[in-house]
Structure 1
């Protein structure tokens, strides 16, 4: 039979279930009991995909049935402002409500909403009466900022981050026993409300460029299918030699129990099986993956669900993969001066000291405590549409969203030779980005690209830098806008800084561009 509910996300901060509802569809059960991974800045607190270091251990179950039950029964009525369409309105609500303890199945509403940068190759596909003036305007803005040649890289890097954010959130829903289903806001882009580029498909229902280029159609099915293998990983950043024990679960929604299966899992150096005599419907614990992290850099975990007597080459019932980023655990510390042979690199946070050292022809790594003008570092990509939620936040007198779309990394640059990375945001960058302020480099020429750049949204179009190099008189300068001293105990921080310093000590450190400090966002 058909199932009915009063609506989706009705009374967002004061949810309720009506007597005839068959299920509840919403985004939270109280202000702080969140059942989605992302939210608009005006609706804080933010979701775990936005607010936590990437992990696959998050479950919504503890939000649905907290240890201490709360009640929403009282007579205190107050008036509040709520989001209404693209604006706000005032409504009367139960003022003392602490949330809803559900008695019906829970469907998470409008899952996702992770933005990617526009794909301007899409423009030529509009051959009818509808013209993509929005995309044409966004392209014109980027060209005026002297970054049109960056557009394809912006699209690919932001798209891969958006895809991985979707993976985190959908897997959390799959892993949660009391989540009965989820509704993506959409699998395609939405051309209204300022343009929300949240899809794996464009507004014409075509696969985006990054989807085709990086085999996302196949990888999406790893976590969004009727059978899903789920590894519970607290942190994707690990240490070389660390012994890992990773619980593995399977979500079975194929409509029947399955028998005589195994999960064939492998790392770069090991291959084992987890046997499953019977796989019941729902979420089931399958067993553990145990291994010692063998080497620095990228370590892959691949899993395939096949018949007990099957071969790895057999077509699997389900498959999934995870990336771990490993670094050595050493006692490396941030010093004022780094010495390697006859080479010295000065590490400074005082701009006047930096100028003095550069005038003497020295090599300086400048890690500013504060920039005169900057954009806050934020790991997750933007939610839905920056112009829309910026306007809503301003109308409600709340903090506006950061609005950035993840990193674009020159992963082949020698300064990152000792710090394994993709060209887009991956978990080892979380702490580095979260403790950074992006320098605004709008005055630099188009061919000056930061080594680590943050992709800005299509409205603001700043050129944003976290790591970049210039020459200054007789001296050589590397700027890192992440406050590494705040995260100096992290293995990824040590590896990142060591890699930068090793490069600065080498003959390869030879910056080609010279600008004023104001041009590179330092004054």
Structure 2
């Protein structure tokens, strides 16, 4: 049965878009952008069919909510066998006023040859504060405010977090033969959580998480007396199978806490995704839907975090 599923996937339309005799490609600088930037891409066509192709090369950029919809042409071209440049295009992102996912598509008109990629665009704005939410990197400060019944977003320095280093790439094939690697297998994300309402994401890892994951340390929730469910879970490898998290919320006494162990406080002017995730979490915590159910004591919180 599994072999049949794999065969169907290999023969699927989606798979043939990036693995076939003719594949449109683009070269791009990054996946996360601020809306004061331009998206620039160089298009290529990998033509390994048995003939030259003549056709118009088209591109489009469409947001997931369809509010942003831009299309263009790179002209009619004669595409020889091999890898050929198809020209370049640039997209002004300034009309995007809220965080969104864009699908970039390059295709050859009147053929089945098409390919697409995702990028993410975030408003260019300074880190915001909310009067009823405390943002802190200090566990001592967090506990003081929590004891007073306040709402807290705790974002400790990753160097001071007891846990495992973040790595975007999955575990290298054998944690037995290569025991020193972090060993994570990507993210499992509760995309329906209101905490991520202003940070477009699917339930799995994609490129908008790259910078956040590489600047993170994963908490080991198994140390807690009662099971805890994260908002962003780091999938451990089969050999250890720990309950790992980089984003989780708790009730602490009369206070409410979000812990994020991805860096949301360093170099934010250059890190659009980190800036936007920070905003999304603060906006959520400031609202009426922030009511954590999972509980943790001050002592357990210290043991969870402190090196």
Task: Please report how far the alpha carbon of residue 319 of structure 1 lies from its aligned counterpart in structure 2 after TM superposition.
Answer: 1.1
Cα distance in 2, alignment partners of residues 495 and 518 from structure 1: 31
Contact in 2 for aligned 1:276/1:286 (Cα 8 Å): no
Name the counterpart of 1:263: 57
Tell me the SS of whatever aligns to 2:205. Answer: coil
Task: Please report how far the alpha carbon of residue 255 of structure 1 lies from its aligned counterpart in structure 2 after TM superposition.
Answer: 3.1
Name the counterpart of 1:379: 168
Cα distance in 2, alignment partners of residues 324 and 287 from structure 1: 20
Cα distance in 2, alignment partners of residues 277 and 429 from structure 1: 36
Of the candidates 224, 227, 230, which is equivalent to residue 25 of structure 2? 230
- What do the CA deviations read for 1:250-308 (whole angstroms, capped 9, x no partner)? 111113322x21122222212222234321111111112232224231111122223xx
Structure with the greater relative contact order (CA < 8 A, sep ≥ 6): 1 or 2? 2
Match status 1:513 vs 2:291: no
Match status 1:302 vs 2:90: no
Name the counterpart of 2:13: 218
Query: Judging changes above 3 Å, is the alpha-carbon distance between structure 1 residues 408 and 349 closer, same or farther for their aligned structure 2 residues?
Result: same
Task: Please report how far the alpha carbon of residue 448 of structure 1 lies from its aligned counterpart in structure 2 after TM superposition.
Answer: 3.2
Contact in 1 for aligned 2:166/2:215 (Cα 8 Å): yes
Task: Please report how far the alpha carbon of residue 387 of structure 1 lies from its aligned counterpart in structure 2 after TM superposition.
Answer: 2.5
Task: Please report how far the alpha carbon of residue 368 of structure 1 lies from its aligned counterpart in structure 2 after TM superposition.
Answer: 1.6
Tell me the SS of whatever aligns to 1:468. Answer: strand
Match status 1:324 vs 2:119: yes
Higher strand share: 2
- What do the CA deviations read for 1:236-262 (whole angstroms, capped 9, x no partner)? 11122533331100111113322x211
Tell me the SS of whatever aligns to 2:164. Answer: strand
Match status 1:205 vs 2:3: yes
- What do the CA deviations read for 1:20-72 (whole angstroms, capped 9, x no partner)? xxxxxxxxxxxxxxxxxxxxxxxxxxxxxxxxxxxxxxxxxxxxxxxxxxxxx
Of the candidates 187, 197, 203, which is equivalent to residue 417 of structure 1? 197
Tell me the SS of whatever aligns to 1:365. Answer: strand
Tell me the SS of whatever aligns to 2:177. Answer: helix
Match status 1:499 vs 2:280: yes
Name the counterpart of 2:150: 362
Unaligned runs of at least 5 residues, structure 2: 63-68
Query: Judging changes above 3 Å, is the alpha-carbon distance between structure 1 residues 445 and 249 closer, same or farther for their aligned structure 2 residues?
Result: farther
Task: Please report how far the alpha carbon of residue 455 of structure 1 lies from its aligned counterpart in structure 2 after TM superposition.
Answer: 0.7
Match status 1:286 vs 2:81: no
Match status 1:239 vs 2:239: no
TM-score by length of 1: 0.52
* Cα RMSD, aligned residues only: 2.4
Task: Please report how far the alpha carbon of residue 518 of structure 1 lies from its aligned counterpart in structure 2 after TM superposition.
Answer: 6.0
Query: Judging changes above 3 Å, is the alpha-carbon distance between structure 1 residues 518 and 422 closer, same or farther for their aligned structure 2 residues?
Result: farther
Contact in 1 for aligned 2:263/2:274 (Cα 8 Å): no
Name the counterpart of 1:70: none
- What do the CA deviations read for 1:290-349 (whole angstroms, capped 9, x no partner)? 32224231111122223xxx3xxxx51x2100111000111226xxxx334xxx212222
Unaligned runs of at least 5 residues, structure 1: 1-124, 126-203, 391-399
Task: Please report how far the alpha carbon of residue 506 of structure 1 lies from its aligned counterpart in structure 2 after TM superposition.
Answer: 0.7
Name the counterpart of 1:522: 305
Query: Judging changes above 3 Å, is the alpha-carbon distance between structure 1 residues 277 and 494 closer, same or farther for their aligned structure 2 residues?
Result: closer
Query: Judging changes above 3 Å, is the alpha-carbon distance between structure 1 residues 264 and 463 closer, same or farther for their aligned structure 2 residues?
Result: same
Cα distance in 1, alignment partners of residues 11 and 295 from structure 2: 40
TM-score by length of 2: 0.87
Total equivalences in the alignment: 292
Tell me the SS of whatever aligns to 1:382. Answer: coil
Tell me the SS of whatever aligns to 2:143. Answer: helix
